Structures are given as C-alpha cells and as structure tokens.
Amino acid sequence: MKAISATGVHFTYDDGTEALSGIDFHVEEGEFIAILGSNGSGKTTLINLLVGLIKARAGRIMIGGQAIGELSAEELYQRVGLVFQNPNDQLFAATVEEDCAFGPRNLNLPEAEVQQRVTESLSAVAALPLRGRAIHHLSFGEQKRVSLAGVMAMRPSVLILDEPTAGLDPAGEAQMMQLLKKLNREEGLTVILATHSVDMLPLFANRIYVLDQGRVLQEGPSEEIFCHQEMIDRAKLRLPYISRLMYEMKRHDGVPIDGLPLTIGEAREQLLELIPKELIIAGMGEKRP
Amino acid sequence: MKAISATGVHFTYDDGTEALSGIDFHVEEGEFIAILGSNGSGKTTLINLLVGLIKARAGRIMIGGQAIGELSAEELYQRVGLVFQNPNDQLFAATVEEDCAFGPRNLNLPEAEVQQRVTESLSAVAALPLRGRAIHHLSFGEQKRVSLAGVMAMRPSVLILDEPTAGLDPAGEAQMMQLLKKLNREEGLTVILATHSVDMLPLFANRIYVLDQGRVLQEGPSEEIFCHQEMIDRAKLRLPYISRLMYEMKRHDGVPIDGLPLTIGEAREQLLELIPKELIIAGMGEKRP
Amino acid sequence: MIMHRRKKSARIRRVAAVIATAGILTALPAPAFAMHISEGILPAPWALFWYAVALPFVAWGLRDLRRRSEELLWFKPFVSLVGAAVFLISCMPIPVPTAGTCSHPAGTGLAAILIGPGLTVVVASIALTLQALFLAHGGLTTLGANIVSMGVAGAYVGYGAYLVARHLGLPWAVAAFLAGLLSDWATYAMTSLELAAALHGDGSFSAMLSLILLAFVPTQLPLGILEGFICAGALKFVRSRKPELIRATAAGGAA
Amino acid sequence: MFDLFSDIFTYRDNALARIDPRAKLAIALAALVAVVTAERIVLPLCVFGLCLGTVVGLRIPAKLIAVRLAAPLSIVAVLVVLQTFLTGATPIFAFTLAGWEFTAKAEGLRQGMLLGARVLGAVSVVFLLSVVTPAHRIFQALRWFRLSRNWLEIAVLMYRYIFVLMESAADLAAAQKLRLGYTTKGRALRSFTALAGATIVHSLEQAERTHNAMRLRGYRGVMPFGPLPALGRRDRMILAFCLAGIASARLLEWGAGR
Ligand SMILES: Nc1ncnc2c1ncn2[C@@H]1O[C@H](COP(=O)(O)OP(=O)(O)OP(=O)(O)O)[C@@H](O)[C@H]1O
Ligand SMILES: Nc1ncnc2c1ncn2[C@@H]1O[C@H](COP(=O)(O)OP(=O)(O)OP(=O)(O)O)[C@@H](O)[C@H]1O
Ligand SMILES: [Mg+2]
Ligand SMILES: [Mg+2]
C-alpha cells in the first residue's frame, strides 16, 4: 500500500513565490526515499505539505490511503513524523526526557506508557544516557538524535527528515545514516529524507526524487538517477565523488566500465577486473574483507 | 612573514569546558589553510581567539608580527576578517548595499570610497546584481556570499571563515570554494577556513591543521594528513571518498598505488597507468581534457 | 537665626547625600542592577503589599493569555519567544554616556508594543523570577515590587504613551520612542517610590523619595532616552523585516 | 558576552542536588521569610555564612560567586551609607568634606547594617538554591505549589529559547564588533538597536517554527506536564527538620529581642 503520496501538487507562498508546481510523489510502505535538490528547489515546502503544516493550492495528498484533510490531527501525527533540520526548532522542553515525553503526553497515554515510550525511543537513537540532561547542554549531534527520538516517541509509521545530516561531522553523519537504515530495515519504518548531499545517499535510498524549481526532474533508483549527467547538472547537483571518477574514466579515458558505480564497493569491483592480476602485490589480495 | 600565529594557546569557557589546550597554529602570508575537526573539537573557539573575540587563558596570539593585545580595534579588523557560519547571524542591515557599507562607514571613509568598496567587494563575490536587494529576500547561498562581501569591504589581508560551505548545495559549494581560491591566488589574501567536510579541502588548502579535543593532532599538507588513517579515525573524520577507494584497493586488494591520491585527477592518473592500454576503447583516450 | 542655619545645613546635607548616592550608584558594576530592588531590602509588610498590588495585574494578564491561546494555537509560543527576546535584550550591555559604565535597557516598552501590556506583565514576572533565581538580580521577596515597577508601571505607561501618541497622529517611530522613554522613566519612578516608602525609616518619605529620584537622574535621564531610541530602532528593524508579523502584534492596528 | 546562567553546576551530583526540589524551595522560602523579618543582624549573617560556606564547599568557581554577589554587596554598601547619614538622631561622628558636613547617626547605622545583613542573607539563600537545583526542577516544584499552568508553560518555553536566541545574538554582536560597529557611542547605539531588532525578528521566526514542531507532536494549546510523585520519606524528614530549625532560630531571635 502507498504510505504517502502527493499528486499534482502546487504551492505558492503568500509573497507569490511558486515553490511547487505540479509535484507527483509516491512512497510505498517500508521504502527509503531521498528527495534530492539544490537550495530553494522546494524540498522543505514539499515536506511541510506532506505533514499538513501548509495546504496545497491544488493537488491531492494521501496518507496511508486517506486524504490528508480527512484525518484528524491526532491520527495524522501518529502516522507521519517530521524531524526538522534545526534541532532547536523542535526541542522546546527543558530536558531530554521532558521533550521526548511531550508527544506521548499529548496523546493522553498513562504515565507508565509515556515513560516506556521515552525509554524506547531514546534507546532507538542511542541516546538513553542523555535522558536527564538539559537540552541546551547537548552537543549538536546529540541534539539531532534527541529530536529524532522525540518524533519516534509518537510511533509514526512514516518518518520524514529534513537534511538529517546537515552540520554533522563525518562520524555523526555515518551514525545518523546507520540509525535511519536500522529504523527502516529492522523496524519497518518508511523513511523519507530531503537533502542536497549526494555522496551518502546511494548507499541507503531505494529511490531518489530529484527536485528542481518546484518540479520533479526525475525519479528512480539511484543507479538510474546518476546516469543522467545533464539532468544532474540542471538540478545544480553533482555526481557522488566516486561516480564522478568512474564517469570521467569511462567518458574521457575510454575505460570500459559497466553502468556507473556509485559506491566504493562497486567501483572497487569494477576496477579490480580491469587491473591485471600480475600487477597486484601477492598475498595482499587475500585480506580483502 | 607570518600573517597570524598562535603559540601555546589555552582556553577554558566559564563553565569549565577546556576548549583549547595548547594550540600552536602558524600561517604565512598568502597561504590557504584548513582547520579540520569534528563537532566540538574547538575550531570556532580557535577562530574567535584569532580575531580577538575572546582572550586566551595562556599563550600568545600574533597578527602580522604584533601581539593581538597591542592592536587597536581599527587596526585589527582591517587586518583580519571573520565570516560566520550562519549568514543570518551577521547580516544586520536592511539591504545588501547597506550591509556592505557598514564596515567602511565605520572607518569614516568618504562616501565615494565607501561606494567603491561596496562595488568592489560585491563584484569579488559575484553578487553585484544583488546590490539593491533586501537581505531577507536572498536565498541562503546569496546570503553567504553577501556576508563574505561585507567582510571583504573591510579589506582584511587575512580572511577567516567558519564552515563556509555548510548548508550549501553542490553548485553553491563549488562556487564558494572557487571564489575563495580566486581571492587567495589572485588577490593574495591569506585564507583560513574551519570545516569538517573533507572532500573539497584537499583541492584547495596548502596545509591542514587537524584539531581534536582542543589539540592539534597533526599539521601538514593534505597528502601527508590523509596518510594517517588512525589519526583521521581518532579525530572522528574520514578520508575523502576518492582516497578511501584508493586506500581500500591498495590496502585490501594489493593494488600498487603510489602514496594516496586525494583528487579525482590524481586517482585517474594512477588508475590509468594500471589498466592495460588494450582494454581502453580506441578513439576515446584522445578526448581526455 | 538658628532656624536658618538648621535649614541650610539640612539642605546642604541633602545635596551632599545626593551626590554621594549618585556617585556610589553609578560606580556599581552596572547601574541597572539598581533597577531591580534587591533581594531582602524590603521589610516583610512592604514586600507583601507589593505582592498584593502585582497579583491582580498578573492574574489579568494570565486571563488574557488563556482567552487568546484558546483561539490561537500559536499564541503561547509567540508570547514566550517575544518574552525570551526581550529578556535577552534587557541583559545586553549598552554604554551609558554619563555613567562611563554599561547599563541595560528594560525592554518593557518594546514588549508592550509587541504583545500588549497585560501579557508584558506576565512575561516580566517570569523574567524577574528567572533573574532572581539564577542571576541574583532582584529577588523573590521583592518580586512583587519589581513586577509593579518593571511590569505594571513600565508596560502600561509605555503602551499608553504609544497609543496616545498614535492617536495624536504622531509617526509610529516617535510613538515607539516615547513608549521606550516613558516606560523606562516610569519604572524608575516606581522603583524609587517603592524604595523610599520602605527605607525612609524615621526620616521624611518625600525627602527620601526626592533623594532617590535625584540619585537616579544622572544615569536614568540618558538611559531613558537611549531606551527610547532602542525601542524605535528595534521596531523599525522588525517592521522592515517582518511587516506581516507586526500586524499580528498587540499594537499592530495602531502601528 | 552573554554569560548569563552558569547552570551547568546545577547538574553536578551532590547531597543537596539530590533533595527533592519542592523541599528545597519550601526551605528556601522559609529561610527568606526568617531573614527579611529578622530584627537583628545575627540571624541574617548566620544564614549568609552558612549558605556561602556551602556554596564554597560545593566548589562553585570563585568567579561565579563574585559575579553573583557583586551587585548585592554594592547595594549593601549604599544602604549602610544612606541610612547612616540620612536617618536616626544620635550622632556618632561627623566630618566635613569639601565644605559639607556629614553626620553619622547610630540608629541609622544600625538600621543600615540590619538592612544590609538581610540583603546578604536573602541573596545567599537564593544563590545556594540556584546552584543545586536546575531550572526545570524548580518549575516542577512550582507546579506543586499550584502556580498557574499557563505561567509555567510560558516560563519553560522562555527559559529554553533564551539559550537559543542568545547564540545567534552573540554571533550578531560579534559580527558587528568585527566590522567596528561599537567603536563610538553613536555607532554602538545604532548597532545595538539593530541587534535588538534582529533578536526580535529571530524570535518571531523561531516562534513560528517552534509552534509548527509542537503541533506536529500533538500540541493542542496546553503543554502537558508529567505527574508529580509524592514527596519521599527522606525528603519529608529533611523538610521537617529544616523548617523546624529555621522556625526555632527565628523564635530564638525574637525571644532575645524582648
Ligand atoms: N516562507 C516563505 N515565503 C516565501 N517564499 C518562501 C518561503 N519559504 C521558502 N520560500 C521559497 O520557496 C522556494 C522553495 O523553498 P524551500 O525552502 O522549500 O527549498 P529547499 O529545497 O528546502 O531549500 P534548502 O535546501 O535551502 O532548504 C524557494 O524559492 C524559497 O525562496
Ligand atoms: N559558550 C560556550 N560555553 C561553554 N562551552 C562551550 C561554549 N562554546 C563551545 N563550548 C565547548 O567548547 C568545545 C569546543 O567548541 P567549538 O564550538 O569551538 O567546536 P567546533 O569545532 O567549532 O564545533 P562545530 O563543528 O560543532 O562548530 C566544545 O566542547 C563545546 O561544547
Ligand atoms: Mg529546506
Ligand atoms: Mg564551530
């Protein structure tokens, strides 16, 4: 079943900016979807529409088979959770624990259940030891994870994240993406993320939507998306570094490479096939993990 | 001559956080330096010390051969300019023009000179057409460039930038780095930038300082820095994607690779030497740019 | 003859005391600390009295808050954030020309224009509690008195000045200037009154009051004017950046 | 620049931090009442010594103690001088300064010292409370004292976002300073005005985003607070013991005054 879908959606801001012009966006349950686009392409606007923060001027938005307008606020927010780009927007309580308990308490759950959800969601994001800490004493990476926990405590089946790795250092970025992968693969959450960083995505997303100036330029699995160099350029994006290397070798140097490797693993495989065995230092090849 | 230097610098925040513990940091005139470190490693603290926003608990900071304490505010800020991470936190005038004119006006320059500086600094960052626009109607990338122009209008000889590419899409990131490179190579500005993104840096920086927990873990040209995998891991960073690929092929697959290529260009050269000529599709090799 | 001498010496004494007080007050780390009546100064009856005066105003503000937040879901976050901003502004040091040191604006005039006087009292009561608890500015025992001077006097005078000025057809910048100026002065007048009432001991109330008022003059006259400029300038800034949000504020219609 | 709340110390673990905030608040209020109603300087000064000693014992940095006590101490000085020379009848000494005659009087001095002692005692009580109790615990305790929920909701949000706004305001002020915005009085005023305006604008924008985030997690106009557990046995005993101590100290003073 479709977890969330937008059909022919248009949106114009009060000042006349046409942020979205005819978006079709469909996500199946359990998918891991990336919305890729440059600054100002409309990612945040689309996300805000999907969670009902703003209303589309035209078009239809469906959540789990129901039109978004038919759902009560409570139903809606237990199905879809949004993690904001800036954790400060979302962490409005004084402590980690109180913040995570905000959502469940709004659902009028008994206190024991609230506490259990807090524990669960904090452990899901590896932030249980932070429980009693004051929000303003957390580091940026910790704040990001705690804000995710606060949303998780609502137990949504669709998790939408606006630039989840923005501002994180490499270690934090990898941790966040692993976390999202785990939530998607193990807990079965549908994950939708908006981003303009291209390098991490291919490893995680089932499908990518490329947005440009309020339109979907292209949609498909990452292998397909990154084949279209001109489309990528038009969207003011770039290929992942690895793909760029492979692309240049294929295009300019005439090296016969199949398709376009996106990850280090794929690139390694293809390159090893091209390099004569006798050049490879003996005894080293074994160590390949 | 040294453009800026810090020797044995310690800094502790009022709450007891020891943010810097014995930093040595030396930059020659005309260099392009990157301060690389994970979240919370002390990059922003170091930068704030270098521009005199906070005072070191111990150690000495010299700007162009003079101790920072001996310089008047006017002298200091015509030598060093700082561009903050979030443009929203440093653009305080109503229009682009007014914002750029803020610094020069505070120097009591005649209006003609002020206007000339505004024109110059805006064209240096490719933002001249934005001159009359209201700040709050600019896109994020435009704001970043305008905030750079505002600092440039002070004509500093040392430009310090805190995460200049944070939040920018790939096109904006490339544009910003090209801009900084131009300012460094053509106008002779000394550029120091703090960042935790590792992929773009090697192409631009003469030297890299790796910071971790308030200490300089290592310092040197990028080729040297990225040879030390354990050091990089300790600093919670990672290798650039290209280097990671080459590193894995060298280490695990035993492919004989010289040193560690950092850029796509270097990697391509090395790989082409390894791939037999007969595998390369005829006629394509010519097109190599 | 004797009468004459006594009168003269009394006058001299008073003038001298004014100068001494002004000297000491302005030599404080920040004269604005004097804006809040410190913990423990007020004797218990006075502390209770000012609590009793402040309470209805706070209650009225809270009623207003409840009524409007029932209609507008965003109202409480809005009031809180404006409150946080005004709190922060009131903690920022500004240079006072005559004192040679830094002082702090009160921000109540600005707050009153943005969220109205009733809610300004509520926000001020929270700000004063936070300052009393965590910054040792003002105090818990003197909270009532401080709410009356900072919140009630500052907010209602500031807001009133703004409305009257607008009704007289003055430009909003002038109105905002007056709001800042008068709210600041009203706060000081009220603080002086509270201090004089509590401290005059066996001396005369009016002598004590005029003394304290005079002691505040060298810093407060200019600080009030600065506050006026800040209020007008900040409002101009907000109007240029967020005209749509100005409309949502208390003085929106008038602004 | 805006080193406002050094509340990091309140998260340190110690015996006082572990006491229930409701008990601590009640004890502090009782101590305040005792101090401001004291008729002699002994009780307030004892409280001052006790609290200051505890704060030092908790190894709160001297700098923070100095910052917190600087303003009250100068107010005490002003009070003593004012009262000594302005009130009372019995002269103790007099001097002439630049042609003016100053007469210090015994009753005034006594009254000034009493007021000063009360200030010191009261300030130190609140200071001690504030270094062993984080703000959110105090808010919790206030809830138990039946304070208006709306007031508390605004207080919680205000407290949280003061820190957020402070960061951007500090950056803004620094950016202005680096472009020489504070080199003369006039510029300082103009820069300051822009800073104030920008802080308000940021707050308005933040309010919108925060409200959105709250809505998405089911906010319906009232912030839900968790239930308050009953006061533990140990805390009840501490509370009773301290209240009894304060009451007897106050009575003792009253008796001595007869
Ligand atoms: N509140 C608003 N009022 C008017 N225009 C807006 C508003 N918010 C966004 N826009 C405009 O709508 C367009 C889409 O903006 P949006 O924020 O959705 O982009 P985005 O893809 O999220 O960009 P980023 O990567 O920078 O976050 C842009 O042109 C932007 O300038
Ligand atoms: N105002 C402050 N008060 C107390 N501690 C602080 C303050 N600012 C930073 N710190 C602490 O000092 C250390 C260094 O922080 P700093 O901001 O310099 O790191 P950074 O390298 O710039 O990190 P990021 O990449 O997240 O910007 C961190 O542990 C941080 O928590
Ligand atoms: Mg966005
Ligand atoms: Mg930083």
C-chain residue closest to B92, CA distance? C237
Please tell me the predicted confidence (pLDDT) of residue B285.
46
pLDDT digits (tens, 9 = 90+) for B164-200: 999 899 999 999 999 999 999 999 999 999 999 898 8
Same domain (yes/no): B82, B188: yes
| H helical segments located in chain B | 43-50, 73-79, 96-106, 111-124, 140-152, 170-185, 222-225, 229-234, 241-251, 264-274
pLDDT digits (tens, 9 = 90+) for C1-20: 444 544 445 555 555 555 55
State the pLDDT confidence band at C102, using cuts at 50, 70 and 90: low
The Å distance, Cα B91 to ligand 1 centre, comes to 19
- Find which of A142, A246, A255 to mutate to test the B interface (most B CBs within 10 Å of its CB): A255
Neighbours of ion ligand 3 (CB under 5 A): A 44
Q: How far does the CA of residue D35 sit from the closest CA of chain A (Å)?
A: 32
Q: What is the ipTM of this complex?
A: 0.92
Average pLDDT over residues A251-270: 86
Same domain (yes/no): A29, A140: yes
Please tell me the predicted confidence (pLDDT) of residue A282.
57
User: Is the pLDDT higher at D159 or at D3?
Assistant: D159
B72 has a chain D CB within 8 A of its CB: no
A253 has a chain B CB within 8 A of its CB: yes
Inspect the interface and report whether the beta carbons of C40 and D97 lie closer than 8 Å.
no
Please tell me the predicted confidence (pLDDT) of residue D107.
85
Tell me, using a 6 A CB cutoff, whether residue A104 lines ligand 1: no
pLDDT digits (tens, 9 = 90+) for D203-242: 999 999 999 999 999 998 889 888 888 888 999 999 999 9
pLDDT digits (tens, 9 = 90+) for A14-26: 888 999 999 999 9
Tell me, using a 6 A CB cutoff, whether residue B92 lines ligand 1: no
A113 has a chain D CB within 8 A of its CB: no
Same domain (yes/no): B250, B186: no
Q: Which residue has the least CA distance to atom 18 on ligand 2?
A: B42
Q: pLDDT over 90 for what percent of chain D?
A: 51
Please tell me the predicted confidence (pLDDT) of residue A257.
86
Average pLDDT over residues D68-80: 82
- Find which of D63, D64, D179, D184 to mutate to test the B interface (most B CBs within 10 Å of its CB): D179
Q: Residue A52 is part of which domain span?
A: 2-238
Average pLDDT over residues B38-67: 93
Inspect the interface and report whether the beta carbons of C233 and D81 lie closer than 8 Å.
no
Task: Out of A174, A196, A241, name the one closest to residue B242 (CB).
Answer: A241
B237 has a chain A CB within 8 A of its CB: yes
Answer whether residue B275 shows pLDDT above 50. Answer: yes
CATH of the domain at B126: 3.40.50.300
3-state secondary structure A10-44: EEECCCCCEEEEEEEEEEECCCEEEEEECCCCCHH
State the pLDDT confidence band at C29, using cuts at 50, 70 and 90: very low
DSSP 8-state symbol, D41: S
Q: Which residue has the least CA distance to atom 27 on ligand 1?
A: A39
State the pLDDT confidence band at D83, using cuts at 50, 70 and 90: confident
Mean pLDDT of chain B: 90
Answer whether residue A250 shows pLDDT above 60. Answer: yes
Same domain (yes/no): B129, B260: no
Total H helices, total E strands in chain D: 9, 2
Tell me, using a 6 A CB cutoff, whether residue A18 lines ligand 1: no
- Find which of C113, C134, C245 to mutate to test the D interface (most D CBs within 10 Å of its CB): C134
Q: Which residues of D touch C78 (CB under 8 A)?
A: 204, 207, 211
Report the side by side order of strands in the sheet with B58-63: B18-28, B2-12, B58-63, B66-67
Q: Which residues of B touch C240 (CB under 8 A)?
A: 94, 134
Please tell me the predicted confidence (pLDDT) of residue B24.
96
Report the side by side order of strands in the sheet with A58-63: A18-28, A2-12, A58-63, A66-67
B90 has a chain D CB within 8 A of its CB: yes
Same domain (yes/no): B142, B264: no
Q: B 74-133 residues with CB below 8 A of A? A: none
User: Is the pLDDT higher at D104 or at C164?
Assistant: C164
Q: Which residues of D touch B117 (CB under 8 A)?
A: none
CA-closest candidate to residue C33, choices C115, C117, C101? C101
Strand locations in D212-256 (E): none
pLDDT digits (tens, 9 = 90+) for D111-147: 889 989 999 999 999 999 999 999 889 998 998 888 9
Tell me, using a 6 A CB cutoff, whether residue A41 lines ligand 1: yes
Mean pLDDT of chain A: 91
Q: How far does the CA of residue C253 sit from the closest CA of chain D (Å)?
A: 18
Tokens of D26: 């009640």
Same domain (yes/no): B226, B266: no
Range with top average pLDDT, A251-260, C156-165, D86-95 = C156-165
Q: Which residues contact D207 (CB under 8 A, 6 or more apart)?
A: C74, C77, C78, C80, C81, C82
Answer whether residue B202 shows pLDDT above 90. Answer: no
Same domain (yes/no): A115, A61: yes
- Which of B94-108, C155-169, D59-73 comes out lowest in average pLDDT? D59-73
Answer whether residue C27 shows pLDDT above 80. Answer: no
Answer whether residue A134 shows pLDDT above 50. Answer: yes
- Which of B118-127, B133-142, B237-246, D82-91 comes out lowest in average pLDDT? D82-91
Inspect the interface and report whether the beta carbons of D172 and B89 lie closer than 8 Å.
yes
Average pLDDT over residues A239-248: 90
Same domain (yes/no): A127, A255: no
Contact B246, B257 (CB under 8 A): yes
Same domain (yes/no): B74, B186: yes
Range with top average pLDDT, D85-94, D172-181, D220-229 = D172-181
Same domain (yes/no): A163, A256: no
Please tell me the predicted confidence (pLDDT) of residue A200.
85
Average pLDDT over residues C196-224: 80
D-chain residue closest to A154, CA distance? D217
Task: Out of A103, A111, A134, name the one closest to residue D226 (CB).
Answer: A111
User: Is the pLDDT higher at D82 or at C115?
Assistant: C115
Task: Out of D136, D156, D218, name the one closest to residue A107 (CB).
Answer: D218
| Element holding B211 (H helix, E strand) | strand B207-212
Atom of ligand 2 nearest to the CA of A139: 31
Q: Which of left, alpha, beta for A220 (phi over 0: left; psi -120 to 50: alpha)?
A: left
Q: Which residues contact D219 (CB under 8 A, 6 or more apart)?
A: A102, A106, C73, D211
Atom of ligand 2 nearest to the CA of B45: 18
Same domain (yes/no): B247, B233: no
In Å, what is the CA distance from A63 to each residue of A22, A26, B160? 18, 10, 47
**Number of compact structural domains in chain A:** 2
Answer whether residue A261 shows pLDDT above 90. Answer: no
Q: Which residue has the least CA distance to atom 14 on ligand 1?
A: A42
Same domain (yes/no): A262, A205: no
- Which of A81-95, B94-108, B138-152, B260-274 comes out lowest in average pLDDT? B260-274
Average pLDDT over residues B103-132: 93
Tell me, using a 6 A CB cutoff, whether residue A230 lines ligand 1: no
- Find which of A15, A39, A246 to mutate to test the B interface (most B CBs within 10 Å of its CB): A39
User: Could you write out the DSSP letters of every residue in B54-117?
Assistant: S--SEEEEEETTEEGGGS-HHHHHHHEEEE-S-GGGT--SSBHHHHHHHHHHHTT--HHHHHHH
> Whole-angstrom Cα distance, residue C223 to residue A274?
78
Q: Which residues of C touch B136 (CB under 8 A)?
A: 241
Inspect the interface and report whether the beta carbons of D163 and A136 lie closer than 8 Å.
yes
Please tell me the predicted confidence (pLDDT) of residue B287.
46
Judged by its nearest atom, the ligand closest to the C-alpha of residue A196 is 1
The residue extents of the domains of chain D are 2-144+229-256, 149-216
